[in-house]
Structure 1
Amino acid sequence: MIQNDATVLGILMLVLALVFYTASLPQRGWQRFYGIVPPLLLCYFIPGVLNSLGIINGATSQLYPVVSRYFLPACLVLFTLGMDWQSLWKLGPQALIMMLAGTVGIMIGGPIALWIVSTVSPETVSGEGPEAVWRGLATIAGSWIGGGANQTALREVFTPSDRLFSQVVAVDVLVAELWMAALIYAAGYTARIDAKLRADSSHIGTIQKRLEEIELNNQRIPATRDLIYLGAVGLGATGLAHWLAEQITPYLSANYPDLDKYSLTSSFFWIVALVTIIGILLSLTPLRRLEFVGASRLGSVFLYVLVATIGMQMDLGAVADNPGLFAIGLVWMLVHAAFIIGVARLFRIPFFFAAVGSQANVGGSASAPVVAAAFHPSLAPVGVLLSILGYAIGTYAGYLTALMMQWVSQM
């Protein structure tokens, strides 16, 4: 019904404002509601409902391409700008262990879920050629280990039909957001979960207190020049990353075409990787002090706009064409969850690392910082760093996962 992107953007911003306003109301009813339904989840699903009802059209809108190319890189820079390397170093190897455990959980979860559902409903996993279900699920593997660039790469490798891809995208987004909501909700019970895992998270608490003291002692009301500096850093780094990606991508495509299967010929991959590197380098300079005038908060604004535009891509009715795919996604995520919790308990790793390591795989750079910030805003850069690792290995691990699912579907 509404085709004008300026109008659509206005609607999305009103939706975000409404969610944040109602979430801040002191009335018990609203507090209970948002105690069950995280505000972030509504920021995804309300635009999805508008798209599914035909009020807006996410497929034809140019908002997502613009926001993902400009706002996402800028928010990554702003998130990493205030990185406290000394504090992150004290976190130790546990973050990397849980990140890799999350990857393995996705890799084994796909074939297991496909096998379980095939024994109950063989028609769900049927199909030949481009309609073979495992081809569509291969793109979910790329998305849940890396991100959109990896998903697109695996789509080009395994060529599922447009209809099948539309269905699995709906499963991808819905299941991933349900899992993220569960992680954010569980963040409120970290102490209990750590006790079950027999994990000592005291060092994380010490780091949080230190970061809070630093922020309290240095934070100030931003002046106009501070906001200009933030815009210059975020969008300037984004522009530089775009320019560098334009030089790197054609060179790799022409001279090393085989790297395409690793997403290394994707300009979006290089943009995301480069802005993160730029942000990390800037965090070693005096520009790091821009965090005290709201770098991460401005990054969060950009991130929520991105969340809304991602939500408007969802067609909530697409799953109805093959609801069994949704069952595969749920079982897949349950296997992933069981694996990371098992690893966390085995090595007595705090739940924070399990949650962020998982979301760095499943949600990537768009939502891993959000989950990390649910524990403490200053820990958001941990999610960014781990999600970049996911981009690096996502296509390769997703490719192997796809081959395993192909083998299971042919049994």
Structure 2
Amino acid sequence: MISSPLWYLFALASLAAFITLVEQKSKLKIFKFIPAVVMIYIFSMTLASLGFFEQNEAIDAIYENTKKNLLPAMLFLMLLQIDFMDFFKLGKSLLIAYLLAVLSLAFSFMLISFVFDFNKEMASAFGALSGSWMGGVANMIAVGSALNVSQEAFGYALIVDSVNYTIWIMFLLFLTPFAHYFNNFTSSQEQMAKLSSIGCSCTIGAKRYWFLILLSILVAFVVNLIAQSGFALLNYTTTTVVLATLFGVLGSFTRLKSINGSSEVATTMLYMLIALIGSKALFENFSGVGIYVFAGFCILLTHALVMVIGAKIFKLDLFSIAIASLSNIGGVASASILAATYNKALVGVGVLMAIMGYLVGTFGGLAVGKIMIWMVGY
């Protein structure tokens, strides 16, 4: 069992490096179906669930500090590659996908509430959960407080959020290599052609790696310093992400955009973040909350079916519906990571859509929660 925070980071970095190396050198066919990013997540989660990493204050602290610095650093480097004029080509489909995600989640919560015949406690708990799945944990707390959710029910909602989110992000990451087949099904190849045209045109060069690492660390330090000073946009994570996004956007209009190696450094940070998140995805004893977890999976299944039907009708590509879904259910960090697995230049899309979720999550969650509680009496 690893109890040292430094050995904890070293183990995760080694895991990510080893899997990436195997993918690049072995040419195993399994990586065509399960990409390295999913492998890293699965193995990291498995090691954590087997007790390989000790759950202590030192490891928790290094996890939080690493994640809060690595995420803005990665976002900054990835956003340097963006030509924002390309976003105007994608606006309509992404907006339709986002609205479809919000409405399908609201419909799914109310439908499952009716099918499972929720009592008032379950209805209020899932009302709080809908706040999280339309925005984030901050919205969940706000909606839960407004609906007077009991501590026990709120705890169950947190467990459902953790378990279902863990499976959902892994599932969406797993689908990445199959985007071509889905886009053929929805006749959205033209949309994917626009997506694939966005990216960094610079050549690879190792001489600039250290400069990019130092620059990204400096950006992470500055955005965290600003967030700690009392300046806040919804919450701490959103503040750092928005500021890092802003710096990345500004940098993309300068000569920084052409620096060689930003994609490789950002990808390395992405894989480390995946390993970090996986190391905290523990499957513990969920006795007593089975019905909550099962209902949560039914909500996600209904949501997925509506999204696929909507994608077929509106000819939406897999990236658009996947990022729209996870920007609601997962939030800023996971949406940007998923976007990066499709195209590193599209991180900004994930960030912007997740921020939209923070803005509507509280109101949407309250509306859904109130409707589900009203349905209890009928």
Instruction: Name the TM-score, length of structure 1 as normaliser.
Output: 0.78
Partner residue of 1:145 out of 134, 152, 168: 134
The corresponding residue for 2:265 is 298
How many residue pairs get aligned? The number is: 376
Q: How does 1:114-125 map to 2 (within 5 A)?
A: 114-118=113-117
Q: Which amino acid is the alignment partner of residue 141 of structure 1?
A: S
Q: 1:164 Cα deviation (Å)?
A: 5.2
The corresponding residue for 1:121 is none
Provide the C-alpha distance between the structure 1 equivalents of 2:37 and 2:156, rounded to a whole number of angstroms.
Answer: 23
The corresponding residue for 1:286 is 255
Q: 1:389 Cα deviation (Å)?
A: 2.3
The corresponding residue for 2:349 is 382
Partner residue of 1:176 out of 165, 171, 175: 165
Unaligned runs of 5+ in 1: 119-124, 251-263
Contact conserved, 1:249 with 1:265, CA < 8 A, in 2? no
The answer on 1:3 being equivalent to 2:3 is: yes
Q: 1:138 Cα deviation (Å)?
A: 4.2
Range that drifts further, 151-160 or 319-328: 151-160
Instruction: Return closer, same or farther for 1:99/1:27 CA change in 2, 3 Å cut-off.
Output: same
Partner residue of 1:222 out of 198, 206, 211: 206
The answer on 1:196 being equivalent to 2:185 is: yes
Residues 137-167 of structure 1 show CA distances to partners (whole Å, capped at 9, x for unaligned) of: 3454343323344445556656766665555
Q: Which amino acid is the alignment partner of residue 258 of structure 2?
A: R
Partner residue of 1:277 out of 246, 252, 267: 246
The corresponding residue for 1:122 is none
Q: 1:316 Cα deviation (Å)?
A: 0.6
Provide the C-alpha distance between the structure 1 equivalents of 2:133 and 2:56, rounded to a whole number of angstroms.
Answer: 22
Residues 42-94 of structure 1 show CA distances to partners (whole Å, capped at 9, x for unaligned) of: 43343434443444344742133212321112222222222111222222321
Instruction: Name the TM-score, length of structure 2 as normaliser.
Output: 0.84
Provide the C-alpha distance between the structure 2 equivalents of 1:348 and 1:142, rounded to a whole number of angstroms.
Answer: 28
Contact conserved, 1:105 with 1:336, CA < 8 A, in 2? yes
The answer on 1:237 being equivalent to 2:237 is: no
Contact conserved, 1:63 with 1:309, CA < 8 A, in 2? no
Q: How does 1:9-408 map to 2 (within 5 A)?
A: 9-24=9-24, 26=26, 31-32=29-30, 34-58=31-55, 60=57, 61-118=60-117, 132-151=121-140, 153-154=142-143, 167-199=156-188, 201-206=189-194, 208=196, 210-211=197-198, 215=201, 218-224=202-208, 226-232=209-215, 234-249=216-231, 264-290=233-259, 292-294=260-262, 296-408=263-375
Provide the C-alpha distance between the structure 2 equivalents of 1:163 and 1:47, rounded to a whole number of angstroms.
Answer: 29
Contact conserved, 1:167 with 1:319, CA < 8 A, in 2? no
Range that drifts further, 167-176 or 104-113: 167-176
Q: Which amino acid is the alignment partner of residue 368 of structure 1?
A: A
Provide the C-alpha distance between the structure 2 equivalents of 1:45 and 1:196, rounded to a whole number of angstroms.
Answer: 28
Unaligned runs of 5+ in 2: none
SS at match of 1:319: coil
SS at match of 1:82: coil
Instruction: Return closer, same or farther for 1:240/1:374 CA change in 2, 3 Å cut-off.
Output: closer
SS at match of 2:206: coil
Provide the C-alpha distance between the structure 1 equivalents of 2:56 and 2:288, rounded to a whole number of angstroms.
Answer: 18
The corresponding residue for 1:256 is none
Q: 1:207 Cα deviation (Å)?
A: 5.3
Contact conserved, 2:75 with 2:347, CA < 8 A, in 1? no
Q: Which amino acid is the alignment partner of residue 43 of structure 1?
A: I
Q: 1:398 Cα deviation (Å)?
A: 2.9
Identity of aligned residues (%): 23
Residues 94-137 of structure 1 show CA distances to partners (whole Å, capped at 9, x for unaligned) of: 1122122212222222232233233xxxxxx56x8xxx344543
SS at match of 1:378: helix
Instruction: Return closer, same or farther for 1:333/1:54 CA change in 2, 3 Å cut-off.
Output: same
The corresponding residue for 1:260 is none
Provide the C-alpha distance between the structure 2 equivalents of 1:156 and 1:190, rounded to a whole number of angstroms.
Answer: 40
Q: 1:203 Cα deviation (Å)?
A: 4.8
Please tell me the root mean square deviation across aligned C-alpha atoms, in Å: 3.2
